[in-house]
Chains A and B, each alone.
Chain A
Amino acid sequence: MSLLIAGISTLSLARWQFAVTTVFHYLFVPLTIGLGLLVAVLQTASYRTGDAAYERMTRFFGNLFLVNFAIGVVTGIVQEFQFGMDWSKYSVFVGNIFGAPLAIEGLLAFFMESTFLGIWIFGRGRVSKRVHLASIWMASLGTILSAAFIVAANSWMQHPVGYVIDPKTHQAVMNNFWAVMTNSTFIAAYGHVLFSAFLTGGVFLLAVSAWHLRKGHDLEAFSKAAKVAIVVTVVTAIATMFLGDNQAKMEEVQQPMKMAAAEALYNTESGASFSIFTLGNLQDNPILQVRIPHILSVLATNTWNGKVQGINQLQKQAVHQYGAGSYVPMIWVLYWSFRIMVGLGILLFLLGGIGLWLVRKRRLERSPRYLRFATWMVLAPFLANSFGWIFTEVGRQPWVVNGLLTTSKAVTAISPGYVAASLIGFTAVYSLLAVIEIGLMVRLAKVAPAVEVPAEAERDLELVY
C-alpha cells in the first residue's frame, strides 16, 4: 500500500508526531517530578520549623509547580492514546506486555497524584496541617511512581525480556511479569531519569531564587531556597552522571549499535579514543576533531584497552542475524544529542559546585554574575532531558522493539492525510500552549512573594480556582 501525501509517508509523519508529542510532554514531566519533591521538602521544613520563610517558598514554588503540572497532565493523555492512533500494529504486537505497565501507571500513580494534589490545592485550611503536608508527599510519590511504569515500558522496547513470540499470532506474549519489572535496562534507566528530574527541579529552584536574590526580593526566603537548591543540584548532578555512565556501559552490551553511533565509531577498536567535538564530516576527514586517547574504552568497558564495537562490524552482524537492510541509526543525531546531554550535565554540576563554594564563603547573595548565570541555566536541564530522550529513541532505530519489530512495520495503515492533519493540529496546539505556559511561568516567577499574607488571600481560600 502506498501511503504518501506530497511524497511524505504515514511512517515519517507518525514518527514526527511521536517526537513532537513526546518531547513536548517531557519538557514538563521532569519539572513536575523534581519540583513536586522540592515543594514537599520546603513544606516539611515549614511544618517542622514553623519558619514563615519556608511557608512563603512553599506557596511560591507550589504555584509554579501547579501551572507546570497541569500541562504535563493534559499532554500525557495524548502520549498514552497515540500508540493506538499512530502505531496500531505496534500496539497489537506488544499489547500483552506494554499495555500492563500503562494500565498500572494509571491505577497506581495517576490516581494518586491527581487525587492528592486536589486535596493539596483545595484542602489548605480544610484538612489539618499534617494531612495537608501528607497530601503533597503522596502526590510527589505518585509522580515518582508514574515515571517507573512508563520507563519500564520503554525499557522493554530497548531490551525486551520476559516474553515469548506466539507462533500463531506472531505477537509478543508476556511470560514473566517480574522479569519485565526488573529488567536491568529499566533499573538503570529509571535511576538516570529520576535523578535528572530531581536535578531539573533543583536547577529550576536555584534559577528562580537567583533572579530574586539579584533583584533583592525577600532575601531571607530566597537565600534559604537557593541553598536547598544548590545542595540538590550538586548531589543530583553527580548521581545523574554516575547513573548515566552506568546506563551507557549497559547499552554498550545490550544496544552496541546505539553506542557506536553515539561515538561515530565506524570500526571496532581496542583502546578506543573518545571524541569530544567534531567539525565537519563525522565519518572521514573531519575538519577538526578533538579526541582523548583510550577514554572511550574506559567509559564503555571500564578497561584501558577494552574492545569497543564499530558501526560497520555491527551492521554486518545485524544483516547476518536479521537479513538485508540498514541497521544504522542517524549517526549525527546520536553523536550530537549525546554530547549536548553530557555537556549540559557537566555544566550543571559546575553550576552547583560553584554555588556550593559561594555558599560556604557566604558570598552567594553578593555574586550578581553567578546569580545571572544561574538564572539562565534554567534552560539547560530541559535541553538535556530532551536530547537524552532523542538519543535513546533515535538510537533504537530502525527498531521499535529492539530486534523484534521494526518501526516501519509498527505504524497504522492509515492515510497520511489524517496524520498530517493531526500533526499540524497538535503542533499548533502545543506551540500555543508553550507560549501561554512560558509566559505565565515567567510572570508568576517574577512576582515577589508577599511577606504578609493579605486578608484578601485568606478570603480566597473559599474559592481557589
Chain B
Amino acid sequence: MLAIISSPSGLEQLWFSLIALLWVGYFFLEGFDFGVGILMPFVSADDLDRRVVINTIGPVWDGNEVWLLTAGGATFAAFPLWYATVFSGFYLALFVVLVALIFRGMAFEMRHRSSSERATRWWDRAIFWGSALPALLWGVAFADFVHGVPVGANATIGGTFFDLVKPYALLGGLATLSLFTLHGATYLGLKSEGDVRIRAHGVAQRIAPITFVIVTGFLAWTYQSARTMHHVGLVPPLLPVVALIALAGVGWLVRERLEGWAFIATALTIVAFFTTLFLNLYPNVLVSSISPHYDLTMVASASQPYTLEVMSWVALIFTPFVLLYQSWTYWIFKKRVARPGAASEALRDTTNV
C-alpha cells in the first residue's frame, strides 16, 4: 500500500466520526445488555429473579444490537478497506463473537419456552458466555486497532492469532469486560425492583474499585504509548480524565442510591473511553505494528466522495427517526421490572433518580 500523504477530506472525517458514533452508541447500549447477561447468575436467587433480570433488557436488546449491524454496514460502505482488513484479519475472534451473539440472542427468545429445567440451565449459560465473551473480545479488538496489528504491505493482517492477544490488548479486553459489567449493574439498579436491585447495588459497589484500577491502567498505557509511539493520533488528556472521574464516582453514587446518576456515570465512562480510542486512532483506521508505512489511513481506505455523499443524505434524513422511536421504546418501558405480585411492595418504595 502506498503511503498517501494527504489529509482526510471533510466527508471522510464526517464518516469516521459517524462510525465512531455508531460504535460508541453500540457499546453504551449493548454494554449494559452484556453486563446484565454477565450478572444474571450473580444477582438472582431463583428462576423468577433470572426472569426479572432478563426482562429489564427484553424489549431493547435486539434494537441495541442493530447498532453493531449498522456500524458494520457503515464501515463497509464508507471505508471498504477498513472493513475488509479488520473482518478478515480478526477472523477467529470474530467467529467467536458471532457464535456468542447467536446463542445469546436465541437464549432470550427460547429460554422462557424451554420444556425442561435442564434446557433452561443451558440457555442461562448461553446468556452468560454469550455476553461475557463479546464484552471481553471487543475490548481486545479495539485495543489492537490502536496499538497495532501486523498489517502488511497489501493491507492484510499477517501473523497468527497470538499477535492479536498481547498484554495491552488483553488489558483492553479486561477493561471493557469490567466496564460493561459495572454498566450492567448500574442499569439493573435503575431498572429492577426488590432483591435483584439490592444485589445489583452490592455488585456495583464491589466491582467499581477493581474496574477503576483496570480502566485507569489501560487508559494510562494508551495515553503513554500514544505520545511515544510512531503514530500521531489526537491525544486529548481531557477525555480519559473525564472517563476516570465519572468512574471514580460510581461506587459513591450507588451507595447514596443515586441510581440514575450512577448509570449516567458508567455511560459517560464508556462514551469517553471509546471516544479516546477513536481519537487516538485518527487519522488512521488501523495501526500497523510492522511499519508506520503500512498503517491503514482513512484516506486510503475511504470510499469515493459520491458514495459518502449519498450515505450522508440517507443518514441525515433517517437517523432522527431512528433515534426518536428508539428513545420512545425506553420511555414506554421506563417502569422497573419486579417479580410478579410484588407490585404493592413497589408502590411503597420511594426512589431517588
Contacts and interface: CB of A to CB of B under 8 A. Distances in A.
Contacts of B94: 81, 85
B332 A84 contact: no
A111 B307 contact: no
Given A84-B86, A422-B92, A105 B73 contact: yes
A247 interface: no
Interface string A44-75: 00000000000000000000001101110111
Contact of A414 (B60, B77, B91, B315): B91
Interface in B287-328: 303-304, 306-307, 310-311, 314-315, 318-319, 322, 325-326
B258 interface: no
B55 A106 contact: no
B66 A111 contact: yes
Given A96-B303, A459-B340, A106 B70 contact: yes
Given A67-B109, A425-B99, A463-B337, A84 B84 contact: yes
A73 B322 contact: no
Interface in B89-113: 91-92, 94-95, 98-99, 101-103, 105-106, 108-113
Contacts of A96: 77, 80, 303-304, 307
Contacts of A175: 306
A51 B87 CA distance: 51
A95 B79 CA distance: 8
A397 interface: no
Contacts of A443: 115
Contacts of A436: 106, 110
A123 interface: yes
Kindly name the residue among A97, A107, A462 whose own CB sees the greatest number of chain B CB atoms within 10 A: A107
Contacts of B115: 443
Given A77-B102, A92-B81, A174-B304, A85 B110 contact: no
A465 B108 contact: yes
Contact of B80 (A92, A115, A413): A92
A106 B22 CA distance: 11
Interface string B41-65: 0000000100110110011101101
A70 B68 contact: no
A95 B92 contact: no
A462 B338 contact: yes
A106 B113 contact: no
Size bracket of the A interface: 35 or more
B61 to A, nearest CB: 8
A272 to B, nearest CB: 42
A63 B156 CA distance: 45
Contacts of A43: none
A276 interface: no
Given A81-B87, A96-B307, A413 B63 contact: no
A100 B333 contact: no
B108 A412 contact: no
A16 interface: no
Contacts of A70: 105-106, 108-110
B135 interface: no
A133 to B, nearest CB: 15
B329 interface: yes
A96 B310 CA distance: 11
A413 B156 contact: yes
A71 B106 contact: yes
Nearest to A123: B332
A465 B86 CA distance: 35
A107 B88 CA distance: 24
B183 to A, nearest CB: 20
B62 A173 contact: no
Contacts of A71: 106
B78 interface: yes
Nearest to A102: B73
A32 to B, nearest CB: 13
B50 to A, nearest CB: 10
Contacts of A97: 307
A115 B326 contact: yes
B88 A115 contact: no
Nearest to A104: B314
A166 B311 CA distance: 19
A123 B334 CA distance: 12
B314 A107 contact: yes
A80 B72 contact: yes
Interface string B113-138: 10100000000000000000000000
Interface string A414-425: 100010011001
A18 interface: no
A412 B319 CA distance: 33
Contacts of A174: 304, 306-307, 310
A100 B91 contact: no
Interface string A351-376: 00000000000000000000000000
A239 interface: no
Contacts of A118: 58-60, 62-63, 329, 333
A459 B338 CA distance: 12
Contacts of B77: 95-96, 99-100, 102-103
Kindly name the residue among B59, B78, B92, B111 whose own CB sees the greatest number of chain A CB atoms within 10 A: B59
B76 interface: yes
Contact of A88 (B48, B84, B102, B106): B84
A67 B74 contact: no
Nearest to B300: A169
Contacts of A105: 73
A92 B84 contact: yes
B100 to A, nearest CB: 10
Kindly name the residue among A66, A78, A96 whose own CB sees the greatest number of chain B CB atoms within 10 A: A96
Nearest to A97: B307
A4 interface: no
Contacts of A173: 303-304, 306-307
The 5 lowest CB-CB distance pairs between A and B, nearest first, are A95-B80, A84-B87, A99-B77, A106-B70, A103-B73
9 contacts: A76-B69, A80-B72, A95-B76, A95-B83, A99-B307, A100-B77, A107-B70, A122-B58, A463-B51
Interface of A: 66-67, 69-71, 73-78, 80-81, 83-86, 88-89, 91-92, 94-100, 102-108, 110-112, 114-119, 121-123, 126-127, 166, 171, 173-175, 177, 412-414, 418, 421-422, 425-426, 429, 433, 436, 440, 443-444, 459-460, 462-465
Given A99-B80, A114-B65, A173-B306, 15 more contacts: A84-B88, A99-B76, A102-B72, A103-B74, A104-B314, A107-B322, A111-B63, A119-B59, A173-B303, A173-B307, A177-B306, A177-B310, A429-B103, A433-B102, A465-B58
